[in-house]
Structure formats: structure tokens, C-alpha cells
Structure 1
Amino acid sequence: MRIGNVSGFYGDRIDAAREMVEAGEVDVVCGDYLAELTMLILAKAQARDGGVGYARTFLTQVEQILGGCVDRGIRIVANAGGLDPAGLADAVREVAAAQRITVRVAHVEGDDLRGDLSAIVPPVDGTPVSANAYLGARGIAEALTAGADVVVTGRVTDASLVVGPAAWWHGWAHDDWDALAGAVVAGHVIECGPQATGGNYPFLHEITDRRSPGFPIAEVAADGSSVITKPDGTGGLVSVGTVTAQLLYEIGPPGYLGPDVTAHFDTIRLEQAGAHRVAISGVRGSPPPDTLKVALNAVGGYRNTMTMVLTGLDVEAKAAWAEELLFGILDREAFDDVDVRLLRFDRPDAGSDPEATAHLRITVKGADRRLVGRAFSNAIVQLALGGYAGFHTSTPPTDATAFGIYRPAAVPRAAVTHTVVLPDGTRRTVADPPTSGPVQPQVTASPRGGAQSKGETRRVPLGTVAGARSGDKGGDANIGIWARDDAGHAWLRSFLTPRRIRELLGTEAAELDVEVFDLPNLRAVNVVVHGLLGDGVASSTRPDPQAKGLGEYLRSRVVDVPVELLAGD
């Protein structure tokens, strides 16, 4: 079967759905809308008078494609229901009625745990604005089996949007572990849309079609193997490299835990199977754990950021004086957190004014909205005539905004009622698969220092011989790094020890726990930097709060690379 992704996040390209229906020749279109941050955004929207807790952009896509899907027999599966899948299912029915189209709509619920937090481990402190267990694919499969044309869910795993339709189509049992694991891998590849088809790809020279990348399609076979491709005539690239990049995105240890199956990423085999076609095979699966992951979001207070621009000479002295003057006006201890970062973009004897500037970026957090808001930003503006030479700010005074705190947790499966509501209104509890018991720690698999090349080396950027893709997993940052050949991988796995990673990432990672996992089948290593993002994207004060640029920063670091790896580079 052919499953086409039409959304990688809430806010992705709207016309991807219409493009997929018209050109993709697919059996199912699926869309992922629910990043960890999105649940906080939807909770805020739901709390407003008349607010809804689902992704509105999905309805716009449904308006555009519903008729075409019905005519072509294409099913629609999306997790856009967020915190109100039943409400979204009703909204889809309203769209269908307005277009005089008859469709059967089902939804999946049971992930929202706000009504009873007692079983969550570790225990929940306070009252979160969202608390959602990551459900699996079986509710989707049962809805499709019952004849649903559209299935909307709340918080299911991203890969479930592929696993559910594949399990329905091929009739997989709960314990078809290898087939299910193969579908998880296919789902992980296409869940972020064009990141699998050349988007965010580090080797830009490999992409000869620079048009907006087409969204990906997974052709999933009965044994769980798949081919990743894209609609004919669309831009971008599908190659072993682009698929590898997405496979390494936002993962941890090789045993990728899920609610339906544990997929072992160290068993994946990739092969270029034609132009814009990459075959995935060999994936092994095993039973999932007896707990489900839970994502908790709580209101953390208020935050505000102001940036002072420093130009020309004596940048560090100017920054120190500005900080001293600011906290002479304001009591530093009155804030819960103060983050001061001097960002150096300046260069000596710059050829233009912007090239001579640096930024002093100050972020404050606290419970007092007035203090964090205009009291803070107005205090910075007060320095305009009595501070350092050339003072100006990058923005006018800003007000405080609420921020959230993300916490990962777990819940026993028995405490969650995974429910599918079929098109006729029948409610059905979805059975759990056999499980493996408690989650077991996975040991860091890469050697902590191995044999280094004794031959000649040259100092070049790491990215000369390695690709990388990075992202966030709650408060942790993930960087997947891969080589182009076996020799490059052998060097990477010995070179990129946890200690080396800390050195290359600099001061902000110097004291953090770093794990490095080896994935020889992908010629890759996966790095997890624990705690780099604090309490998650909504709370992080880093300029890059989701660590999206961290991999490219790592690639830019100059290191000693064996010359034999540089042939042709």
C-alpha cells in the first residue's frame, strides 16, 4: 500500500495535501500535527472562550481534498485531534455536510489523562495543562477495518499514522513484530514530511532539483519492508542520505520503544532502488514495554527577552557595563531565572556596520508578569542615554509571555483506556499487545575512545566527511551523524566519544551527560546530550531552543581528519 504524508507539524505547507491527492496515487494520506510544544499551544487555545483543542489547519486541508479522496477511495488519517479528537471528528462531518459529501468519520481517544493523574510515574507535581499518553496504532487499524474514511486521533505516536493503516491493509496480528517494526521505521521516515525528501539536508550540492521538496510516500509491503519515494514531478531528493538523515532524527538508543512494538534501528538496511526510491528492509521487532510514554506540559510562569546591540570596539566591556547598569535598576534576585548571553557576530575592521555588531541577549523568568514584562524591558530602554556608546536594541520594549515546562513520564498500560469511536458511534476498547515488561536501560554502544588513524591528518570541518541532523526530545538534544562509507564510519565511531562531543559543543555541554550509540548498519552514530534544553522548547533560553542547528554547528567544528577520508572532498 502507498501512504503519503501531508504534514510534518502544525503549520506545515497547506497545499501538500492537495498535491499528494492529485499526484501521489496513494491509498492513504496521513498528517502529523502534534509536536510536544503543540500540545501546550493547543491547551492554551482550548482554555480561551470558544477555543478548540485541535489543529485548525487540518480542516483547511480536508476542505481542499475531501471530494478528491472520496472519488479516489483514499483514506485520511491524522493526529490533528490534539486535545479534542471528538470535536475535530464533528468538525470534519460539518465540512463534509457543507460540501454534500457522505463520509464515515471515526476518532481515537483515551490518551488525555488530565482527569486522573494518579498512575503517572514519577508522580505529577501540580496541575498540568496537558497530560497525554502516547497511544499506538491499533485504534486507527480498527477504525479503518470498520469502514472509516477519515480517522482523527489525539496523541498517538507519530509512526502510528503509518503503522495503523499498514496493519489494517495487511491484516497484521499484534505479535507480527518484524512487520510492525518495519512500518514504524517507514512511519518515522515520513512523519516529518519533506525532511525525508531533501529538506534540512546538509549536503546541499546533492539536491539538483531546488524546488520545494515533494512530501514523502511510504510503499509498505506485507512483510513490513518499504520503499520511500515522493510524487512524480515534485522537487527535492530521495536518497539513502536523505532517508538516513531522517532515520537519525530525534531518536535515542537503537531499541526504539513504541506502544505497539520495539523497533531495532540497528537492523535497518537501506538501498537505493531507483531514482527517488529508497528500499528499507531487514527491520527486526520485539514486544513493547508494559508502560506508555506520557508528555506533561505545565505553566512555568512568564518570560521576556530583550537584545542590546553592541557595535565596534570594546564589546565585552560594553556588555559587562550594560549588565551592571541594568541590575542596578532591577533586583536580579527578584527573578526566578536570568540568562545573559553575549553573541559575537562582530569582526575587526568590518566592511559594514552590521558586520561590526554583537548582541547582548538577556532573558528573565518569573511569576510576576509586571516585573518580567514592561518593568524589565523599560529598564533596558532607560540605558539608552546613560549607557555604553552606540546603545540600541533589536526591538522596542516587549511584554512578558507565558512559558511552559515539559516533563516526560510513564504510565502503566492498565491505567489507560485506548478507545476507538467508530463511524456509527460505537465505542470499542482497544486491546493491548503482548509486552516485554518494564523498560530496560540500553547501554551506550559506541566505544569511549578507540583506535585512531596513525596516518596523516588534515584539519578540516567535521562536515567535510560527515552529515548530521539534530533536534529535541524534551530537555535533551539529539544529533545523528553519519559517514558516506565504511571507513568514514569506523573513524567516526572511534573519534566521537562522549568526551569529544562535550569538547566540540563547547561550554554549554561541558558538564552534561552525553551518550553515543553506534549504528553501523547506517554508518552512523547517534548522540544524546542530556539536559541541554532544560525544561523543553517552551522554556529553553537557548537562541536555538529546539537544537535544530546543533548538528550543523558540530559539522562546522575543525578537527583532524585522516587524509584517506578526504579523497574527492
Structure 2
Amino acid sequence: MNPGADRDGTTLVPTLSAPQPTQGERTVRIGNASGFYGDRLSGFDEMVAAGVDVITGDYLAELTMLILARQKANDPAAGYAKTFITQLSGSLEQIAAAGTRVVVNAGGMNPGGLAAALRELAASRDLEIPIAYVDGDDLTDRADELGLGNPLAANAYLGGWGITEALRRGAQVVVTGRVTDAAVITGSAAWFHGWGRADYDKLAGAMAAGHVIECGMQATGGNFSFFTELSDMRRPGFPIAEIDQNGDSVITKPPGTGGAVTVETVLSQLLYEVAGARYPGPDATLRLDSLRLADAGADRVRIAGARGEAPPPDLKVSVTEIGGYRQQITFPLVGLHIPEKAELITRQFEYGLEQSELRRPASLEWTLARTDHPGADSEEAASARLTLIARDTDPRVVGRAFANIAVEFALGSIPGFFTDGPPGDASVYGRFRPAFVPQQTPPHTVHFHDGDSAAIVPPAEFRALDETALDSRSIGWGNGDRACPQRARAGETTVALGELFGARSGDKGGTANIGVWARSDAGWDWLRSELTADRLRELLPEAAAHDITRVELAGLRAVNFVIDGLLGEGVAFGARFDPQAKGLGEWLRARNVSVPSALAAERGQQPTPFPTPRSPFTSRDAENPQ
């Protein structure tokens, strides 16, 4: 390489293609030891014992960025995931002795602060550990000029090349701010194998492996539809990706740990929080429809065939801000006449608000959840829940005085009146919104252990993130609510969808995704033809008013749906009782559908292998692959 220098003397790194001569052609073993800020602390010890080459960890969900931004606003020295220090501390001597690399995004809003804390930790143990950090993602101070408003925080999702350069220059520990979840894996694999920035297929393969392992135990049986088929789920192990020189990988876990790695646990995680056939990243775009999964032995699953494309010209930005203040009151309704009781409480509260001197909140939402069961043998099982959620930009409008309206009519209301607690102050809530900036905007910079720094230049080429022929968009039904017919026909049987199909759901800001997969070819034939966007609206009436994007992934026997706006303004907004749509897929699996009786007979059977594709990449997408 012949790096230049910019005007302030920072080294510019235009390409990172130099091979690592000591690694040869062997696979790199990258383990994940944390899937979120709060994961179990023993994950690092488990990965050290497994002898992986690189230990990675993901700490930064959208809500986490809001929390860390508020911490840094109160204390400029804060803003990083402090639990990472505890995790690393317990294994520091072993990591130093083994030469194991550690790459995490625990830096959050303050990667430089975390790096300094780690250097102090190492010095206190008389250990010399080269520690580097990557920053440039934080665009908060420039938010207004970039058209992002005046948020609490604005962070671009950076790629993995800063990580690669830090490792190439000898760092043993690399901490970053907001990078993509898979970047800690792709950056590590690119360093180990000496990939170049145009090695899109290889990078895409590492993206797939990274997407599978970045959520930790979700790859080893956690959040898995068919969890009852797994033998030991007391404490699933953390996943390991063994990534080949060509980008193919094997997903596994340390021997003797709980959970399981199967084709379906890997597939389930592949479908988590994705959108269309193109899965974009800052360094490459992965074609999800190119992936193939195969059993490679006990707790070993191979991911192969990844096809990559040049990255999109823009980077996603996580914009977090204070949305306002929130008050929630829940009224348990016990026994008979539930609708009438809900109606009376609603009228009494609304009348009390009108008679008060309080301003009406910007929004009031009443929700009745019929959790009651006739003839229940416990009071809780006999109870429904009426919930009031009020939001406003002024905390006084939804504060203690507002909540006290419910107390004022407590002795003159329904039989069995009580609430979930005494009146309290309003709580602040956050708001997430995605934005985009050109790849050239963030000053992606790596700071080395010796005090030097290098700027990572943007990609040399881009490809627009266009939809493929596999992606289809469907407009919502407005406020209408259509019935959910069983559609029973001759030769068909009514079953719960989940008896034959798996699902995984999640959130990205205000959108929710549901990936559904079939366990057999016959199931796939039914799934791709019957589970349309409109049929999904019938099965999930809460989605009826929302636009839905649907994509078929034939090589994985799966369809994925993205439901726009279902989660309002993100997890902190709390638009629904399941604010991250974690259980949305399980609700879908609980709904009844009518299927051919021959397919219904497959209930309880183990999944069949995927058919062998005719070529590494098969698709109904007729566009030019170049």
C-alpha cells in the first residue's frame, strides 16, 4: 500500500488488501461472547476456553444507543458499555498470553473513553496489550448541517475496514462505536484472510456468518420456534463462525455447551431483522437469495454460495432523540361484563380529564386485552387488562396529577376496581428514526495503540440498493379490518401455522419483520403460494393498515415480510405491548390455517434437507447479476 496523508497529517488508508502471511489457507475461528448490553458475563471465559482466534461482541441496540447517549450527556467520560470491562477483566491474562484478538462495539458513544479505561486495566495487571479504537460514526455535533435535526445522538453505521487496519497494525483489542452488527466479524475475517475491498463475495459470506452469530445464543437455540425439540436449553452456548478463505463458513459452538446448532437455528437467525433479497452493509451488499445451508455434522452448519455486490452509496444513521413523556395506567378487569367495565372506566376518566384544569395530552390510547378465561380457577386468569397510554412533550401534562384522575373515581366505578399501582410521575421516552448520509460523510478513523491514527477512505464503487424481482410491496388496507376466513376446502385440514412452519420476528426502528420458513418442499409449495401479504393481514389484523414488503427466498424455503410503521417510532416509543416485535412471529404461528391433508400429516416430523441447487446461485430474479 502507498497511503497518503490528509492536511492534518492523519494517514489515509485507501485499500486493505495485504495478506497475512502467517495465516495461510486455514479458516479463522471467530466467536461471539455477547449479543447485547447485559448478556451473561461468562461468555468471554467460554470463548477463551474454546481457543478461538477472535472474540467478538455486540452491545449496541437502538435503545442502547439512546441510553448511552443520555449517560454521556450527563457525564462526558461515560457513554460506553461498562460491563465489557468486567467481561474482559476475568480473562485478560489468558487472552494476553494466547494472543487472542478481541473486537467489540462496546465503545458506544465514547470508544476513546473505553480504550483509555482498558489501557488502565491492562497497566494495573502489568500487561502490555495493544489497544486500538475506531470512531467517526458520531455525527451528533454535525446533525443540523446534515439535515438530521437536533437529536440527542446521530450515529452512522460504519463498516469493518477500520477494524481490519487496527488488527493489521498489531492491535490485540479493538473497540468501536456504532458499526454494523456484522462489521466486527467481517473486519476480523478480512484481516485474517487478507481480503481486498472489492472481494464482495467473500465479504458477503462473512456478513452472513456475522449476522448469524452477532446475536449470540439466538444462533444456538435461543428464540427458536421448535425449542421443544432441543435437548438441553438450560444455558445455550455462544456461537462460533469458522470462516474460510472464500467466505464460506461453518457455524458451531464450544463442545459441551447447551443448546444446539442446526440448519434451522441458523436459518432462523438469518431471517432476523432483514428486509428484501438485498441485505446492505457499508462494505458490501449480501444477496440473501444466494445463500445455501447444509448440515456439516453434530452442531455444525455450513453457509455457502454467498454472492456479494458493491455497497450502497449511503450509510444508515441511527438518530435518537427525546420523543416526550409517557404515562401508563393499567386497570385489571375481573370476572363478568368486561366490555361494559372497560367502557365505564374510559368514560369516567375522559370526563374527569374534561373537568380538570389539565391540558389534554397530545395522544391518548386505550387498549383492552382480553386475557380473561371463563370459569378461571385463579383471579389473575379471570382478569382482562385495560391500559391507558398518554404521551405529551410536557411532563406535567401526563404527570402525577393526570394519573390521579383514576384515583378520584376509584370508589365510584366498576365492581372490583383497582389499578396496577399508585399514581406516579411521567417517564421520558425516546424516539428512533433512520436517516442516511453519503458514505463520504463520516470521518471513519482508527486510532492505534502507539498514538498514530489513520482515516479509512470510502469505497471506490457503489451500487444502488434497488429492489429485486423477488421483492414485492403491498399497500395497507387503511383502517379496514377484514375477517380471517379458515378457507377450509375438500381434502384440507385446519392446523396452527406453527405446527408446520417456523418463524422469527424482530424490529428495525418503526418497522417489524417476520421471516417464515417451511420444513419440507411440500410446505414450501404451500407457503410461497398461500402466505401473501394480504393473507398475513388477515392472520394479523394489527398489520392490516400497514404497507408490507414481501420477499421469497426459495433457496432457504422462506418468505420474509417487513411491516412498515407497526412499531411507531421505535422500541422506546412503546407503540405496542411487544415494542420490539419479538413475539410477532409466535402470534402468527398460533393462527389457524387450512392446508392440504397430506401436508398436515407432516406435523411433528423433522425437517427435510434443502434440495441441492443446480448452481451456487439460483434465483427467479431475471436482472443482470452484474
Q: Determine which of 7, 11, 15 is the counterpart of 2:42.
A: 15
Q: Is the 8 A contact 1:28 1:76 kept in 2?
A: yes
CA distance in 2 between partners of 1:388 and 1:264 (Å): 57
- Pick which of 179-188 and 298-307 moved more: 298-307
Shift of 1:265: 0.6
Deviation for aligned residue 1:68 = 1.2
Matches within 5 A, 1:43-192: 43-49=69-75, 52-117=78-143, 120=146, 123-125=147-149, 127-192=150-215
1:36 aligns with 2:62: yes
Query: Mapping of 1:261-340 within 5 angstroms?
Result: 261-331=284-354, 334-340=360-366
Match of 2:382 among 338, 347, 356: 356
Deviates more, 1:199-208 or 1:466-475: 199-208
Determine if the alignment matches structure 1 residue 445 to structure 2 residue 468: no
Distance 1:187 1:496 in 2: 29
Where do residues 318-467 of structure 1 align in structure 2 (5 Å cutoff)? Answer: 318-331=341-354, 334-442=360-468, 445=471, 456-467=491-502
CA contact (8 A) 2:57 2:103 kept: yes
Q: Which moved more, 1:190-199 or 1:534-543?
A: 534-543
For 1:431 and 1:119, how far apart are their aligned partners in 2? 21
Equivalent position amino acid for 1:38 in 2: T
One-letter code of the match for 1:373?
A: G
Inter-partner Cα distance in structure 2 for 1:153 and 1:217 = 21
Q: Root-mean-square deviation (CA), in Å?
A: 1.6
Match of 2:94, SS state, is: helix
1:339–1:541 Cα contact (<8 Å) kept: no
Cα offset for 1:298?
1.0
What's the counterpart of residue 481 of structure 1? 516
Asked whether 1:491 is paired with 2:526, we answer: yes
Q: Secondary structure at the match of 2:236?
A: coil
2:592 is aligned to 558
Amino acid at match of 1:484: R
One-letter code aligned to 1:192:
C
CA distance in 2, matches of 1:560, 1:437: 42
Deviations 1:496-519 (A, max 9, x none): 11111111111x211110111100
Query: Over residues 131-157 of structure 1, what are the superposed CA-to-partner deviations in whole Å (9 max), with x where a residue is unaligned?
Result: 011100000000000000100000000
**Which amino acid is the alignment partner of residue 513 of structure 1?**
D
CA distance in 1, matches of 2:312, 2:376: 58
Give the counterpart letter for 2:500 in structure 1. Answer: V
SS at match of 1:538: helix
Q: What residue in structure 2 maps to residue 535 of structure 1?
A: 569
Structure 1 contact 344–359 (Cα < 8 Å) conserved: yes
SS at 1:107's partner residue? strand
- Residue type of the partner of 2:206? A
Contact map agreement 1:108 1:153 (CA 8 A) in 2: yes
Identity across the alignment (%): 51
How much does 1:14 deviate?
1.2
Mapped to 1, the partners of 2:597 and 2:192 lie a distance apart of 50
User: 2-side partners of 1:555 and 1:435: how far apart?
Assistant: 42
Please state how far the C-alpha of 1:210 moved relative to its aligned partner: 2.4
Q: Deviations over 1:515-550 (max 9, x none)?
A: 111001111000111100011111123110000000
- Does the CA contact (< 8 Å) of 1:502 and 1:510 recur in 2? yes
Letter in 1 for 2:367: R
| Equivalent-residue separation in structure 1 for 2:374 and 2:489 (angstroms) | 38
**Could you say if the C-alpha distance between residues 384 and 453 of structure 1 is closer, same or farther in structure 2, counting changes exceeding 3 Å?**
closer
Contact 2:522 2:599 in 1 (8 A): yes
Residue 92 of structure 2 aligns to which amino acid in structure 1?
L
Pairwise CA distance, 1:333: 6.4
Extract unaligned runs of 5+ from structure 1: none
1:517 is matched with: 551
2:7 paired residue number: none
Q: TM-score, normalised by structure 2?
A: 0.87
Give the Cα–Cα distance (whole angstroms) in 2 for the partners of residues 283 and 496 of structure 1.
26
Amino acid at match of 1:112: D
Is 1:548–2:582 an aligned residue pair? yes
Alignment of 1:177-256 (within 5 A): 177-256=200-279
Question: 1:375 deviation in Å?
Answer: 1.5
Question: In the alignment, which residue of structure 1 is the partner of 2:33?
Answer: 6
SS of aligned partner of 1:491: helix
User: SS state of the match for residue 369, structure 1?
Assistant: coil
1:330 deviates by 1.6
* 1:25 corresponds to 2:51: yes
Report the AA paired with residue 17 of structure 1: F
Query: Hey, what's the Cα distance between the residues in 2 that align with 1:444 and 1:298?
Result: 35
CA distance, structure 1, for counterparts of residue 415 and residue 258 of structure 2: 49
Contact 2:278 2:465 in 1 (8 A): no
Cα contact 1:453–1:562 (8 A) shared by 2: no
What amino acid does structure 2 have at the position aligned with 1:476? T
Shift of 1:290: 1.2
Aligned length: 561
Question: One-letter code of the match for 1:564?
Answer: A
Unaligned ranges ≥5, structure 2: 1-27, 475-486, 604-626
What amino acid does structure 2 have at the position aligned with 1:9? F
CA deviations on 1:428-452 (whole Å, 9 max, x unpaired) are 001222332443244553698xxx9
Specify the code of the residue in structure 2 equivalent to 1:124: L
